[in-house]
Structure 1
Amino acid sequence: MPRITKEDKARNRQNIVEAAGRLFRSRGIDAVGIAELMKEAGLTHGGFYNHFASKSDLVVEVCRTSFATSLESLAGMIEEGQGQGGPPLKRVVAGYLSTAHRDAANGVCPSASLVTDAGRQNEEVQGAYAEGVEGYLTGFTAEFLREAEEKGHQLDPAEARQKAIRLLSEMVGALVIARAVRHIEPGLSDDILHASRSHALD
């Protein structure tokens, strides 16, 4: 029987993380068992423990990886500056509170798709989620300060952080509620997204 190479092992681990991310974000952490996620990754159940000591260890990596992807996208928007859809934060809000993001099958952004699950997990998982939240707050705060400076206004960093916290909280809350009612009250779901999208940056 051929020995598995380091490259194969790294690829298998990545497949597990990606499969778990899709399942966790779309269905919830506790609703997905190891056997199911390994099947989704195209691997055998027994191979899981060659890569992770426990499911919680995998959840921590999924949390960090998912946030890293989202934060990379945020950083890219901010670096682009003024775009066709307006300044960076306006475009971030428009994309986050869009019907496409609401209806995405894999949950896309972990800030909303894992928010309830994270609170039910152990401290390591909650820590990974908190790191991701801080990443968003850091990016939002810096952009609020940059926008104020560009307009010739002075904004206290503490106030900018408070604005960042309010913005992230409203975005996540609006998306979670919009997802919760979209099948039974699609009009209400759309209204929630529209109202929050229109006033998140007021």
Structure 2
Amino acid sequence: MGRVSQAQAEENRRRVVDTASRLFREQGTHVSVADLMKAAGLTHGGFYKQFASKEALVDEATSHAFDELTRHHEEGLERYGGQRAAAQRALIDTYLSPEHRDSPGEGCPVAALATDMAREGGDHEARRVYTEGVGDFAEWLTTDDQDGLTRLCTMLGALVLSRATSGSPLSDEILATARAALTTTGTGGDSEG
């Protein structure tokens, strides 16, 4: 079989990174290279032509997931005409929704990768990207009357607990309770309403 063009090689690499970003959020970074390449529709042997190691892919896929999160925040701000409080409210509503709970592969890397990053050593690129991403997300959530880190911890905790209790009424109650706590006037949420 002939060699692939440079453009096709770049497309294959992008497909692997996209697939890894999704699968790592769905299943964790322990997904095997063989399973990942199969999900990307490529052969296992092609992996090492694109990446030096699985760790290098974890680094790149983590960065990709946080780039998506940043784009999502920017798009939300644009959609609400630069009104940060309205964009934050919409984000909280979406973040603490059954749809987000049920779609970790397309969702927030902070929640989906937390356990894997806790197991990474402090000198890994993925851990550095994750840590910066958490800080940036918390900063984006900051309001005049509430610390963004507190808001992020509430959102993250609620999402993780709702995923762990999915299929029970408690799961939806966790989401609704956290959403109300973060968005209702007088409880540290925004005052628009």
TM-score class normalised by the smaller sequence:
0.7 to 0.9
Deviation at 1:4, TM superposition (A): 1.7
Q: Deviations over 1:88-134 (max 9, x none)?
A: 11111100000110011625211111111111123322111112112
**Any gaps of 5 or more consecutive residues in structure 2?**
189-193
Determine the structure 2 residue equivalent to 1:198.
Answer: 180
Alignment correspondent of 2:127: 126
SS of the equivalent of 2:105 reads: coil
Contact 1:97–1:196 (8 Å) recurs in 2? yes
| Offset of residue 79 of structure 1 | 2.8
2:15 is aligned with 1:33: no
Instruction: Report the CA distance between 1:22 and its aligned residue.
Output: 1.9
Q: Distance in 2 between matches of 1:116 and 1:59?
A: 14
CA distance in 2, matches of 1:119, 1:125: 11
Q: Note if contact 2:162-2:170 (Cα within 8 Å) is conserved in structure 1.
A: yes
Superposition pairs of residues 104-143 of structure 1, within 5 angstroms? 104=103, 106-122=105-121, 123-141=124-142
TM-score (norm 1): 0.82
CA distance in 2, matches of 1:175, 1:23: 18
* Partner of residue 151, structure 1: none
1:71 aligned onto 2:70: yes
Change (3 A) 1:135 1:105: closer
Q: Distance in 2 between matches of 1:138 and 1:166?
A: 10
Contact 1:112/1:172 (CA < 8 Å) preserved in 2?
Answer: yes
State how 1:175-186 maps to structure 2 within 5 Å: 175-183=159-167, 186=168
Q: Is contact 1:97-1:171 (8 Å) kept?
A: yes
How much does 1:82 deviate?
6.4
Contact 2:162 2:171 (C-alpha < 8 Å) held by counterparts = yes
Shift in Å, 1:175: 0.1
Q: Is the 8 A contact 1:77 1:92 kept in 2?
A: yes
Tell me the TM-score normalized by structure 2: 0.86
Pick closer, same or farther for the CA change 1:190–1:82 going to 2, 3 Å. Answer: farther
Deviations 1:14-61 (A, max 9, x none): 11111112211111111x100110111111111111111111111111
Identity %: 38
SS of structure 2 residue aligned to 1:29: coil
How many matched pairs? 180
- Cα distance between partner residues in 2 of 1:95 and 1:102: 10
- C-alpha separation between the residues in 1 aligned to 2:104 and 2:126? 23
Q: How does 1:162-177 map to 2 (within 5 A)?
A: 163-177=147-161
Give the CA RMSD over aligned residues: 1.9
1:107 and 1:113 in contact (8 A); partners too = no
